[in-house]
Chains A and B, each alone.
Chain A
Amino acid sequence: MTISADHTAHPDQASQAPAEDALTEAAKKFGITAEDYMLPARHQIEMVDPDGRLKPQGEQGTEPGHEYPLPGDDELLAAYEQLVVGRRVNDQNSALVRQGRMAVYPSSHGQEACQVAAALCLSEGDWMFPTYRDAVAVMTRGVDPVQVMTIFRGDWHSGFDPLQHKVGIQCTPLTTQLLHAVGVAHAAKLRGEDTVVLAMCGDGATSEGDFHEALNFAAVFHLPVIFFVQNNKYAISVPLAHQSVAPSLAHKAVGYGMAGERVDGNDVVALLAVLDRAVKLAREGSGPLLVEANTYRMQAHTNADDDTRYRESSEVAEWRAKDPVNRMRTYLTERGLLDDDGEARIREKAEAVATQLRDGLSEDVPVDPQELFRHVFEKTTPQLKEQSALLADELARDAASSQEAGK
């Protein structure tokens, strides 16, 4: 643990660099005004169109200071593989819910490009703070798929160790996790580590108070946090127009003195380009950034929801034509980077993960009732010891009487 504890010895090392100076510096770096740096480009960044064609550079939405190099072929192939696996995971999980093996699954079907890019843009030492809909991002980060699904399988709340994977547990109370991301980044910064933290939320969540507090804290303390908003157009049933009348969600950044960008959330090429750059800038000390991904929730909120009550099927069909997986397959095939063998190999991998999920979630996992008391505190209380003994006694008597009945 190393923290600079003495500001009097280094008067120039105030804990907070004035955001204004940092932005001026960033603007200087790109030769544009601070306002032009903070405001998103006039159009969203889109590199590969829905038909899988690479757009001419002049039509990618880039502007001076908002320029994005095309990611390398290896990165794109790796991303495609994860897109196919992610889609399979989404559809397998939804099937498991229909079969009654899982209580609920908020699917990210249609948002796989966002999921994959969010994980692939980070380095090993970085952190991610996902929401309940970001299971595919967590798996792409390398967490065991069955462990990720434990929260929905129902035998415990979190199936993986957040510290081991540097992934926060999938968060349900909207945007509360953004502040945890800010705290993780702040602690790392105080120790002089170059950790970048990616904090995820949806469009509806931008109405929450913690969204505001997290962005403001990150900006004021000049922390390397990337706020990644997946604008999938609906908060359960409520469309974005009821959440915000801002020109875009990315425009919210400027109010905090940070830079924002809009990106086609179904174009994994553009997503990787924008997020890779955001991670690089944050690591170099740019402070926080806000990236809004323009995407669509193709299925209902969860299996318990009926989306025909609040949206037209024609709207869903429109977005089906913008599918992130098909688009990438066309692009890579036409570039000669993907052939039938490559496709078959990837599908095989996806199938293996699906099998792993089916097996893992069909398994009747034994639960230990005593675990109810074991983890409430690091140092337990006499009251919990008493209650634990009470339950143990109750179970022992149940066991004795069923044994009796069996005789």
Chain B
Amino acid sequence: MSPTVTNSSEANGNVSAATARAAASAAATAEASGPQPVTMAKALNTALADAMHADSSVLVFGEDVGLLGGVFRITDGLTATFGEQRCFDTPLAESGIVGMAVGMAINGMRPVIEMQFDAFAYPAFEQIVSHVAKMHNRTKGAVKLPMVIRVPYGGGIGGVEHHCDSSESYYAHTAGLKVFTPATVADGYRMLREAIDSDDPVIFMEPKKLYWSKDLVDLLELRSAHSAAASAGESSEGRAAVARPGTDATLIAYGPSVPTALAAAEAAALEGRSLEVIDVRTIVPFDDEAVCESVRKTGRAVVIAEAHGFASVSSEIVARVQERCFHHLAAPIRRVTGFDIPYPAPKLEKYYLPGVDRILDAVDDLQWEN
């Protein structure tokens, strides 16, 4: 027997020791109760720690996620708290990371793995499309793959090429995957916990430009709310949120585009136009009901996404809303998306990314004179 294989009695002892420490560390990170300024990165980090604390089958691995804590520090401190068997670095090979996670999920674990950057996940595409997405279906549900693939995505951070892709459409197009993307700090925590709890594989798209954005949140309260919801079997999966209520037109956005949409709505308000902002939250499953309820109310819609518009999540949203709300629409639905070009170099990205002005222009085009 290799010295690295622990026998079960030792392992049991270790788990309880680590559990106590994890609980202490988790309590320390949450600190005082009541809302505090917390970054998305911290919320995600706390969600991982809490999930690992709650369930010893939750494992975290990927590139640089161990000692370094991830290039974005989302896994910071997890190896120190939970040990190298539960949060560890792998060889530098993304297909290997995803493929090994599939095997671990087959054999009783709940792997939460990190693809270091959006475009670095492409070597794993075959594993994701041919196995992660299909295993449950091809075995008629005998094999579940409760795994989460975390993908930092999108631009707006001045990154060089291959570091700024919006790859959500590839995953959303693949039957059998769920695709989540949080836009707020509280959702960062809540949705990651729900993704880890899910018995379906989840592609968890983290808007990297929002990692350091802060909201006032109470992590302790989020934790207990999650515990209560989880024990009641409730999840916010498949539910969009009204990020800002309004009456004149609906801005539909997700992930990194939600704050941009909110800024546009704020600017429009100054001009006397009341825009409702819908945060899609989970691209798959998509909340047709909430999105259509808003569009039926306002009669006008603009869909905003960083990704290329052609054959994308944004085109899907337009198609769905058009099919369901045609007779409520006062104007064709507009889209503000990235251009259909490879992601630009840092000094050019401002011309590419959907911004407040471009959104307001699209809103102006919604045939108000009728």
0 or 1 for each of B136-148: is its CB under 8 Å from A? (1 = yes): 1111111110000
Query: Is there contact, CB below 8 Å, between A183 and B3?
Result: no
Interface mask (B167-197 → A, CB under 8 Å = 1, otherwise 0): 0000000011010000000000000000000
- A-B pair count, CB < 8 Å, reads 233
Given the known interface contacts A4-B6, A213-B95, the answer about A379 and B11 at a Cβ–Cβ threshold of 8 Å is no
In the complex, besides A6-B82, A157-B134, A213-B91, 5 extra interface pairs with C-beta distance below 8 angstroms are A5-B19, A5-B85, A17-B3, A381-B238, A383-B288
- Known contacts A183-B105, A376-B136; A5 and B99 CB within 8 A of each other: no
CB distance from B142 to the nearest CB of A (A): 4
Name B2's contact: one of A212, A222, A381 (CB within 8 Å).
A222
Shortest B17–chain A CB gap in Å is 5
Interface size class of A (residues with CB under 8 A): 35 or more
- Shortest distance between the CB of A371 and any CB in chain B (Å): 7
B104 touches A187 (CB 8 A): yes
Q: Which listed segment binds B: A46-54, A189-197, A357-365?
A: A189-197
Find out whether the CB atom of A188 lies under 8 angstroms from the CB atom of B107: yes
**Contact indicator per residue, chain B 8-28, by CB within 8 Å of chain A (1) or not (0):** 101110110111010000000
B224: interface (CB < 8 Å): no
Contact A9 B7 (CB under 8 A): no
**Is B88 interfacial (CB-CB < 8 Å)?**
yes
Give me the interface of A with B, judged by CB distance under 8 Å.
1-10, 12-17, 22, 127, 156-158, 161-164, 168-169, 173, 176, 178-192, 194, 209-210, 212-214, 216-217, 220, 222, 284-285, 287, 371, 374-379, 381-383
One of B5, B8, B91 near A285 (C-beta < 8 A): B5
Residues B107 and A158 in contact, CB atoms below 8 Å apart:
no
Q: Is the CB of B95 within 8 A of A4?
A: no
Take A12-B3, A183-B107, A187-B109 as given contacts and tell me if A377 and B178 are in contact as well, using a CB distance cutoff of 8 Å. Answer: yes
In contact, A15 and B84 (Cβ under 8 angstroms):
yes
CB<8 Å pairs between A and B, sample of 26: A3-B14, A3-B86, A4-B14, A5-B15, A5-B17, A9-B17, A10-B10, A13-B6, A14-B84, A158-B139, A183-B101, A186-B104, A190-B109, A210-B126, A210-B127, A213-B95, A213-B99, A216-B93, A217-B93, A220-B91, A285-B5, A377-B176, A378-B199, A379-B199, A379-B237, A383-B288
Q: CA–CA, A375 to B98, complex, Å?
A: 21
Q: Contact: A217 with B85, CB < 8 Å?
A: no
Q: What's the least CB distance linking A230 to chain B, in Å?
A: 21
B109 to chain A, nearest CB (A): 5
B346 within 8 A of A: no
Chain B nearest CB from A209 CB (Å) reads 6
Using a CB–CB distance below 8 Å, which chain B residues touch chain A?
Answer: 1-8, 10-12, 14-15, 17-19, 21, 56-57, 59, 79-80, 82-86, 88, 90-91, 93, 95-96, 98-109, 111, 123, 126-127, 130-131, 134, 136-144, 175-176, 178, 198-200, 237-238, 284-286, 288-289
List residues of chain A with CB within 8 A of the CB of B83. Answer: 4-8, 15
Known: A162-B143, A210-B95, A382-B238. A169 touches B103 (CB 8 A): no
Contacts of B88 in A (CB 8 A): 15-16
Contact status A176-B126, CB under 8 Å? yes
In this complex, what residue of B is CB-closest to A197? B103
Closest chain A residue, CB of each to CB of B235: A379
- Complex Cα spacing A200 to B200, Å: 27
Of the listed residues B79, B139, B143, the one surrounded by the most CB atoms of chain A closer than 10 A to its CB is B139
Q: Nearest 6 pairs between A and B by C-beta?
A: A183-B103, A179-B99, A285-B2, A213-B96, A157-B138, A5-B18
Choose from A14, A178, A376, A378 the contact partner of B4 (Cβ within 8 Å). Answer: A14
Chain B nearest CB, measured from A388 CB (Å): 13
Which chain B residues lie closer than 8 Å to A217 at the CB level?
90-91, 93, 96, 100
Q: Which residues of A contact B286 (CB under 8 A)?
A: 381, 383
Q: Which residues of A contact B19 (CB under 8 A)?
A: 5
A216 near B4 with CB under 8 A, answer no
When C-beta atoms are compared, the residue in chain B nearest to A219 turns out to be B91
- Do B140 and A377 touch across chains, with their CB atoms under 8 A apart? no
CA distance A389 to B244 in the complex (A): 34
Check A192 against B7 for contact (C-beta < 8 Å): yes
CA–CA, A118 and B356, complex, Å: 62
Among residues of B, the one whose C-beta sits closest to the C-beta of A372 is: B137
